[in-house]
Amino acid sequence: MSEMVNWLAAHFATCPVTPAMVMDATVHMRKAERKKLFSPDIPSMRTAEGRWYEAVIYETMLHLAEQTPLISGIARKGADAPPVRSNVRLGQNGLFYSNIGDIKIRGNGQDLAEFDLLFLDQNNQIAFGEIVTSPTDMKDFEIEIQFKKRLIGYIYGQVSVPFILVSSVDVSNHPIIKRLCKEPDNVVICTDSCESIKTLFDKRPVGKQAPRKAPASTKLFRADQIPVKRPFDYKMLHDERRQRVLELVRTHAPREAYTAPDDLPQIVKKVLFGGLYPSAARALCKSYPLSIKGKEMICSELAGKYAKVVLAVDLPELAPILYLRTRQRREYLKMIPDKTGGFRFESIRTPHMAGFFLWLESIQPTLGAQLAGEIAEAFIGQNREKTLVKSGVKSPGRSQAKAPVKTPVRAPVRHPPREKVLPIHG
């Protein structure tokens, strides 16, 4: 086990939260968040509370770092982070700060992962921490932690990446947390509840706070200045993964082949195949109907309403996705598979998701109807009939099947009905 994370788990309780620390934590919050910390609107209050609790743990870690040589440094964040002087742009790779002091790893400008805490141990090995206030969505949480470990391990050349989970609720008996803690470099720390810690406030933190002077600690460092151990070009890794996935599509490989280990790092979570030519978009729409809020889209109107259709797939789930660029607004509609074998609207992607939005904007039409159809067939078509039968929905192709035809002979012979398959070629 990492000496540093083991020490933190054993000594965390020796640094109790004080009234001064809970007030210091509010400096890392925006004015609107501070106002909501005691709001009667529970959802808004919980969101602000999570942000504040994260800052409380950061302040606690700063105090603990001064007590041991095992912690070489803690990454600045929040109000202690350096000012951001450049906007998100394509081609950015590595650790960056957001405009509110969050720590992120970007790949080609897209946010790949966010870290609540980053540490350097006595050997300058990176460890990270996650801070939670709710035990929900633990399955996705486990996947997220494993991805972050792979990402740091690849970029910074670490065989193992220690991890600390700090929670305001007792999650130590949760099956997924137990599984995570079986790994020698993972630890979990459970603290008092947020409600209990909030009783330490002498007064409610509202309004504008005085600017914080960064602590005079020699152990604070800038996350974006950690030297990488190998070149990290996410776009190149993405394009190589894209080519390999397309080769599997063309050879009709089984689904398990797409997630089989190979020599590429498993850090590309979404493959953007490219934009569809208008004829390809119409053909895909006819074979795999698109619906928005329960209303099926008219395929002939697709080009008039949407300037671009981008086809992608999530890895390792192998879930196909369509992104439709609206003509009226700067936004993309994210379309995911539905129970009928088509696609339904899920959510909107806007310029707020700066890096990913810029990447989508840079994509031009490159996919014809045949290749787009093969991609859709690979990721949704193989299980389509099974899904349709299970949901009790008739296949779009079968519903348009031709009636049996009689032959003009003395003993008529009835041929079985053919399934009409809408063309994807062109």
What CATH number corresponds to the domain at position 104? Answer: 3.40.1350.10
> Is residue 285 domain-shared with residue 151, that is, in the same domain?
no
Residue 90 scores a pLDDT above 50: yes
In the block, residue with structure tokens 């979570």 = 269
> Is residue 137 domain-shared with residue 91, that is, in the same domain?
yes
Tens digits of per-residue pLDDT, 195-233? 999 999 987 765 566 666 667 778 999 999 999 999 999
> Is residue 205 domain-shared with residue 138, that is, in the same domain?
yes
Average of pLDDT values for 23-49? 93
Which residue, among 115, 113, 151, has the nearest Cα to 131 in the 3D structure? 115
SS3 state of residue 128:
strand
pLDDT category, 135, cuts 50, 70, 90? confident
Residue 286 contacts by C-beta under 8 Å, 6 or more apart in sequence? 299, 422
> Is residue 254 domain-shared with residue 183, that is, in the same domain?
no
Q: Specify burial of residue 4 (Cβ count, 10 A radius: 0-12, 13-18, 19+).
A: buried
> Is residue 206 domain-shared with residue 247, that is, in the same domain?
no
Q: Is residue 16 part of a domain?
A: yes
Predicted local distance difference test score (pLDDT) of residue 258: 95
Residue 400 scores a pLDDT above 60: no
d(CA 304, CA 306) in angstroms, rounded, equals 6
d(CA 216, CA 341) in angstroms, rounded, equals 59
Radius of gyration of the chain (CA): 26
Other C-beta atoms lying within 10 Å of the C-beta of residue 378: 21
Tens digits of per-residue pLDDT, 223-280? 999 999 999 999 999 999 999 999 999 999 999 999 999 999 999 999 999 999 999 9
Q: Is residue 396 part of a domain?
A: no
In the block, residue with structure tokens 């330490």 = 200
Domain that holds residue 323: 234-391
> Is residue 320 domain-shared with residue 183, that is, in the same domain?
no
Q: Is residue 413 part of a domain?
A: no
Tens digits of per-residue pLDDT, 357-390? 999 999 999 999 999 999 999 998 754 544 444 4
Residue 58 scores a pLDDT above 50: yes
Q: Is residue 316 part of a domain?
A: yes
